[in-house]
Amino acid sequence: MFIVERLRQNGFDQVILKDGTTQTTVAIVPDCGAMLHAFAVRDGDKAINIIDSFSNREEFNVHAESGGFKGLKLSPFPCRIPEGIYHFNDQVYRIDPSLQQGVVIHGFLYNRPFRLVQEKVTDQSAQIALLHQYKGDHPGYPFSYDCNVEYRLEKDSTLYITTCIKNTGDSSLPVADGWHPYFTFGGRVDDLELQFCSQEVLEFMNLIPTGKVLPSAAFSSPERIGETILDNSFVLDFDRPQPMCVLRDPVTDWQLEIQPDGSYPYLQIYIPPHRNSIAIENLSAPPNAFNNGIGLITLAPGEETRFFTRYTLRKK
C-alpha cells in the first residue's frame, strides 16, 4: 500500500511518499527548490536515511549556497560559469556573481518554490509532480521556461525522478540540468565502497573543463573511498550494464544504486571537507556548458526535453 502524506517539521512543509508495506519513505520539500530531503528504509527496528540535508528551514534560508546546495534542483545550468559571463545566439549575457557569494553556480531554481500540481497513488507507486514557472526575471537569463519535477516511489525501495523543461518563451534558450544530493550512511564516507561506470574524466582547471578528456580507471570496481579527494566530472559509459554507480556501506550491507538514462551522461562526484557525506550528481552537462557547449541543449519556443534518473536502496 502506497500513500502520500504531509508533514510540517523543523520549518519545512514536506510531502512524504511512503510504501506502507516496507515503510520506505521519501521526503520532498517543494518550496525549497523541490528538495530531496530524505530517502529512508527500515532495517529491523530502525530507519536508515541516506540523504544528508539541511536540519531546518532557517539553516536552508541562510546556508543553501554555503551548505552545498544539498538535494536541490540545478537549473537552468549546473556547476560553474566563470565570472557569470556566457554567449548565446551572438549575444553576451552576464549573471551577477554576487548573487552566490562571488561564484555563479547551479542556476536560479535551487531556492525557489515549486508548487504541487499532481498527486497519484496506485497499488504500485506513490508519486507527485512539482512545477516552477520561471518567468525570465533575471537579466542574465531572460528566457522563460517551465520546470516540472516528478518524484515516484515504487516497490523495492526504488525512487524515480524525472525533470521536464519546456520553453514557454518566444525565443530559443540554452539549458542544462542536474541534481545535487549528498548521500550518507551515518558515518564518514572514507569507510564506504564506491563504484561507477566510467573510463573518462574531464580535465579541469579551477573546476572548469579545459576541453580535454582524460582516461580514468577510478573506482571501476568496488573500492573503499579511504582518503580519496574527489571533485570531478566523469563521463558515464552506457555500454556497461546498469547501475551506473553504486555506493555501499560494508558494515550494514545496504547499498545505493544510481541508474540514470542517457539524458544524464555526466557524473559529478564531490566529497566535502567534513567527509560525512558524498555528493553524487547526475548532470546533463558539465561545468561552463553555456560557454563550452558540452552537453548543452537549445530549446526552440514550445519545445521540451526531459531528464531521468533512478535510485534504489537494497541490501547486497
List the beta bridge partners of residue 9: 12
* Cα–Cα distance measured from residue 273 to residue 175, given in angstroms and rounded to the nearest whole number: 30
Sheet of 223-224, strand order: 115-121, 125-134, 145-154, 158-167, 304-315, 254-258, 245-248, 193-196, 223-224
Strands (DSSP E) along 122-216, which ranges?
125-134, 145-154, 158-167, 173-175, 178-179, 182-183, 193-196, 198-205, 208-215
* Cα–Cα distance measured from residue 70 to residue 63, given in angstroms and rounded to the nearest whole number: 10
Domain containing 241: what range? 2-315
State the SS3 of 87-143.
Answer: EECCEEEECCHHHHCCCCECECHHHCCCEEEEEEECCCEEEEEEEEEECCCECCECC
pLDDT of residue 103: 67
Whole-prediction pTM: 0.96
Q: Which CATH number does the domain housing residue 277 bear?
A: 2.70.98.10
* Cα–Cα distance measured from residue 275 to residue 100, given in angstroms and rounded to the nearest whole number: 23
Q: How many domains does the chain have?
A: 1
pLDDT of residue 99: 55
Cβ-contact 218, 281 below 8 angstroms? no
Q: Residue 92 corresponds to which cell in the numbers above?
A: 553576451
Give 55: exposed, middle or buried? Use CB within 10 Å, 0-12, 13-18, 19+: exposed
pLDDT of residue 101: 58
Q: What is the pLDDT along the chain (316 residues), one digit of tens a residue?
A: 999 999 999 999 999 999 999 999 999 999 999 999 999 999 988 999 999 999 999 999 999 999 999 999 999 999 999 989 999 999 999 998 665 556 689 999 999 999 999 999 999 999 999 999 999 999 999 999 999 999 999 999 999 999 999 999 999 999 999 999 999 999 999 999 999 999 999 999 988 999 999 999 999 999 999 999 999 999 999 999 999 999 999 999 999 999 999 999 999 999 999 999 999 999 999 999 999 999 999 999 999 999 999 999 999 8
Place of cell 544510481: 258
Q: Residue 58 corresponds to which cell in the numbers above?
A: 532557517
Cβ-contact 193, 248 below 8 angstroms? yes
